[in-house]
Amino acid sequence: MKSFSIKLFLVPRRASSLPSTATSFTSQCRPTSHLFDEIPHLDHDPCRFNALLSYHVRAGEPAFALQLFQQMRSLGVPLDSYSFPPVLSACSTSQASGRQVHALMLKFGCISSPITATSLLDMYSSNSPINDVLSVFDEMLEKDTVAWNALLSSLITHGLAADAFAAFRSMVSSRVYFNGFTLCSLLKACVALRALNKGRQIHAWVIVTAYDSLVMATALVALYSSVGQVEAAMEVFNGLESPKDLAIFNALANACVKNGRFNDVFELLVKVKPLDERMLTSAITACSESFNLAYGKQTHCIILRYGLQLDTILCNALINMYSKCGDLHSAHLVFTRIEKKNVASWTSIIDSYGSHGRGNEALTLFQRMEEEEVSCSVLPNAVTFLSVLSACSHSGMVNEAKECFFLMKDKYAIDPGPEHYACLIDLLGRAGKVEEAWDLFCSLYESRNGLTSSVCVAMLNACTVGMDFAKGDEVAKHLLKLGTPNSSNYVQVSNFYGAFGRWLGVEELRTGFSRRGLKKQFGTSHVAV
DNA sequence: TTAGGGTTAG
């Protein structure tokens, strides 16, 4: 309890947002006083307690809010519709506490107000499956704009962007007005679906309805960025008359990274002060993508100067940057210093060793991850397994790759995707095990994943290495039937026929290639000067 | 009570 008072005294900025009743209460506290020693002075007044609950939630102290709520219960303070929104917000990470509060809402008859019901929906949205959210929404007596907005937001959070659009249509047909929050959520759904046309329509609504704001502009920058329209993103950014905040600068920096405008990111980095984790993550990613170790090291120095070296996501980006720029030693050093390693940290370092041809070390790291899984509860995911498989592939470790493939299915219940199959088929092919690769390839016919072009390309290479024309010919025809407008597919098929001296086939392919307007992409090398 | 910006493969 001692830290409660100290925290308040150390953060004067937050004290300004303190409700007046709570201010008077906290001003009575001595720096070392105990919170609940003071509670009798609140006279069991629910208004004062509710104000204090809200204050703790806004100050980012949900644990204090929950303690206070428990104290209110034991003191017999009557709960009303103002008590529940803040306490539900404090339950966002605990489903069990949230359900208890839900029960109390029913007991105190505070479920019918749209405000408390929306808070309840929001709580389930942050810690429960979507069905719980939908149940709350269905049972709401009055579904106003805010309730619908909360539902849309929840659907998007649960990865159901297409359903968010369906919900929006129901909202409109229920004659509920939409507002700027609604449009903002729809823009986020467009980002998830990469839906440029829908996004443009919403942009038009934003202009027509004059719901333009910094938040809306940021969502628009994210939209245009996600579909590769960086010029449109810049137009939104430059057209803003109001002062810009860090979020919109970060959104634009991210747009530049995703669209290969690396120098623009470095220019933004100079303009923005102070920098935060997100802006620096974009800068580090720009260094990775442009293989610019010198800028990467300078940005790392800025990170140290800002004292942000403990941020896990930023460190993951640093591991990736050092690895891509060839400095595996620094990548490892960053990894060892991460206090809270997450699945991306482990995946990044495994991939670093794997892509540098250090398959054994990559596998050792994966085993360490599995050992630490019990204490740190960090589980490998599909990307981790792809990194392990890729590490085995780069080092020709066939048996280890096969073990990993089955471990993924049997122990972790992760369905291998086409990319996992492609990696394993590629490895088997290069090891001359065409029959084994073929069995895997055929098993994909039966699975729902289907045969993607990357799987076909891997199998085609296996047939080229193993000089198996019959199988390769079948795969080549399937690959061309997929109709993926990818010049490298044509090149692979052409090389396959060339390897067997079937030059007529090669000629035909090259003609078809030019007719479709495809151009061969040349390989590039990078030299930092 | 509802809305915006970051990391991991090939």
Predicted confidence (pLDDT) per residue in A399-415, tens digit? 999 999 999 999 999 98
pLDDT of residue A41: 58
Gap from A135 CA to B2 C1', Å? 18
Please measure the distance between the N-terminal and C-terminal CA atoms of chain A and give it in whole angstroms.
Answer: 57
Gap from A149 CA to B2 C1', Å? 5
Contacts by A70-76, CB closer than 8 A, 24 or more apart = A71/A36, A71/A39, A72/A46, A75/A39, A75/A44, A76/A44
Gap from A246 CA to B4 C1', Å? 11
Gap from A346 CA to B8 C1', Å? 8
pLDDT of residue A11: 26
Residue-wise burial string across A195-211, b where 16 or more C-beta atoms lie within 10 A, e elsewhere: bbebbbebbeebeeeeb
- With pLDDT > 70 as the criterion, what percentage of chain A qualifies? 87
pLDDT of residue A104: 94
Q: Which residue is nearest to nucleotide B1 (CA to C1')?
A: A115
Q: Which residue is nearest to nucleotide B7 (CA to C1')?
A: A313
> In this structure, how many other beta carbons lie within 10 angstroms of the beta carbon of residue A339?
9
pLDDT of residue A468: 93
**Under 8 Å between Cβ of A37 and A69:** no
pLDDT of residue A447: 66
pLDDT of residue A130: 94
Q: Which tokens sit at A23?
A: 């201010």
- With pLDDT > 90 as the criterion, what percentage of chain A qualifies? 68
For residue range A98-126, list pLDDT tens digits in order: 999 999 999 999 999 999 999 999 999 99
Gap from A403 CA to B2 C1', Å? 48
pLDDT of residue A212: 82
For residue A495, name the pLDDT band (cuts at 50, 70, 90). Answer: confident
Residue A360 phi/psi, 5-degree rounding, is -65, -45
- Nearest nucleotide relative to A279: CA against C1': B6
- Mean pLDDT, chain A, integer: 86
Mean pLDDT to the nearest integer, A443-472: 86
3-state SS record for A486-507: CHHHHHHHHHHHHHCCCHHHHH
pLDDT of residue A60: 86
For residue A265, name the pLDDT band (cuts at 50, 70, 90). Answer: very high
Gap from A116 CA to B8 C1', Å? 39
pLDDT of residue A40: 53
- Nearest nucleotide relative to A355: CA against C1': B9
For residue range A186-231, list pLDDT tens digits in order: 999 999 999 999 999 999 999 999 888 999 999 999 999 999 999 9
Mean pLDDT to the nearest integer, A262-271: 93
Q: Which residue is nearest to nucleotide B10 (CA to C1')?
A: A419
- Nearest nucleotide relative to A84: CA against C1': B1
Gap from A147 CA to B10 C1', Å? 42
Q: Which residue is nearest to nucleotide B8 (CA to C1')?
A: A344
Instruction: Report the distance separating Cα A108 and Cα A245, nearest Å.
Output: 42
Q: Which tokens sit at A46?
A: 């629910």
| Nearest partner of A392 among A403, A381, A377, A408, judged by Cα | A403
- Nearest nucleotide relative to A113: CA against C1': B1
For residue A455, name the pLDDT band (cuts at 50, 70, 90). Answer: very high
Gap from A148 CA to B2 C1', Å? 8
Contacts by A430-434, CB closer than 8 A, 24 or more apart = A430/A393, A430/A396, A430/A461, A430/A462, A430/A465, A431/A396, A431/A398, A432/A465, A432/A466, A433/A398, A434/A462, A434/A463, A434/A465, A434/A466, A434/A468, A434/A471
Mean pLDDT to the nearest integer, A264-268: 93
- Nearest nucleotide relative to A82: CA against C1': B1
| Nearest partner of A436 among A410, A409, A468, A407, judged by Cα | A468
Q: Which residue is nearest to nucleotide B3 (CA to C1')?
A: A181
pLDDT of residue A529: 57
Gap from A483 CA to B4 C1', Å? 38
- Nearest nucleotide relative to A345: CA against C1': B8
- Nearest nucleotide relative to A280: CA against C1': B6
Q: Which residue is nearest to nucleotide B4 (CA to C1')?
A: A215
pLDDT of residue A452: 86
**Is A88 a residue whose pLDDT tops 80?**
yes
* Better pLDDT: A95 or A5: A95
Mean pLDDT to the nearest integer, A446-469: 85
In single-letter form, the type of residue at position A288 comes to S
pLDDT of residue A24: 35
Mean pLDDT to the nearest integer, A46-67: 89
Residue A91 phi/psi, 5-degree rounding, is -90, 10
Gap from A85 CA to B8 C1', Å? 36
Q: In whole angstroms, how far apart are CA A268 and each of A65, A216, A517? A: 39, 21, 37
Q: Which tokens sit at A14?
A: 């937050």
- Nearest nucleotide relative to A115: CA against C1': B1
Q: Residue A414: exposed, middle, or buried by beta-carbon count in 10 A (0-12, 13-18, 19+)?
A: middle
- Nearest nucleotide relative to A118: CA against C1': B1
Gap from A388 CA to B9 C1', Å? 10
pLDDT of residue A362: 96
Protein footprint on strand B: which nucleotides are under 7 Å from a CB? 1-10
**Is A22 a residue whose pLDDT tops 50?**
no
**Is A3 a residue whose pLDDT tops 50?**
no
| Nearest partner of A350 among A308, A393, A309, judged by Cα | A393
Instruction: Report the distance separating Cα A233 and Cα A268, nearest Å.
Output: 14
